Amino acid sequence: MKISSKLECGIVALIDIAINSQHGKTVSIAGISKRQNISTKYLEQILVALKQARLIRGQKGAGGGYLLSRPAEDIYFDQIINALDLTILSGNDNEGVSGIRRVMNDEIWRPLDEQLTGLTSGISLAQIAEKCAASEQEEFMYYI
């Protein structure tokens, strides 16, 4: 499955914010950019979309940056996907469609969309952020 770089970078940025914003600490665009190797200009565009979807909030002033707008346990991947790319979980209606296209929508695209929506609505940002944080810890483990 191919996803847009906007969606991939948006998910990476949200996971980074979830991991690094513990105890109300804000996360800067520069920090995300450096840790995740994503252009700051591109991140700015992505974070605007995440802000509009009310997944994150900005804090201005000294020590400003971004925080999740609600606990990571309450943010699900279907919400993230819809905030960044409306074409993935778009649903397929049959208005003005007939013949082969209607059957394809009914038998292939709609069930696939329902499966993907069901899967992504059951995975929270917290679940993935915890796995990513644990994975990062393992990468820095040194054994003697």
Under 8 Å between Cβ of 22 and 38:
no
pLDDT digits (tens, 9 = 90+) for 19-50: 999 888 999 999 999 999 999 999 999 999 99
Please, which pLDDT band fits residue 126 given cuts at 50, 70 and 90? very high
pLDDT value for 104? 87
Work out the average pLDDT over 41-70: 93
pLDDT value for 128? 95
Q: pLDDT above 90 covers what percent of the chain? A: 61
Q: How far apart are CA 113 and CA 104, in angstroms?
A: 12
pLDDT value for 119? 93
Residue 35 CA, chain-centre distance (Å), reads 17
Q: Where are the alpha helices (DSSP H) in the chain?
A: 5-20, 29-36, 40-52, 77-84, 100-104, 110-120, 125-139
pLDDT digits (tens, 9 = 90+) for 81-117: 999 998 888 766 667 778 898 888 889 888 888 999 9
Q: How far apart are CA 41 and CA 115, in angstroms?
A: 34
pLDDT value for 89? 80
Q: How far apart are CA 38 and CA 49, in angstroms?
A: 16
Q: Which CATH number fits domain 5-87+125-139: 3.30.450.20, 3.40.50.10860, 1.10.10.10, 3.40.120.10?
A: 1.10.10.10
pLDDT value for 92? 66
Nearest alpha carbon to residue 43 among 81, 70, 61, 16: 16
pLDDT beyond 70 at 140? no
Q: pLDDT above 70 covers what percent of the chain? A: 91
**pTM of the predicted structure, to 2 decimals:** 0.84
Nearest alpha carbon to residue 91 among 76, 77, 105: 105
Q: How far apart are CA 44 and CA 50, in angstroms?
A: 10
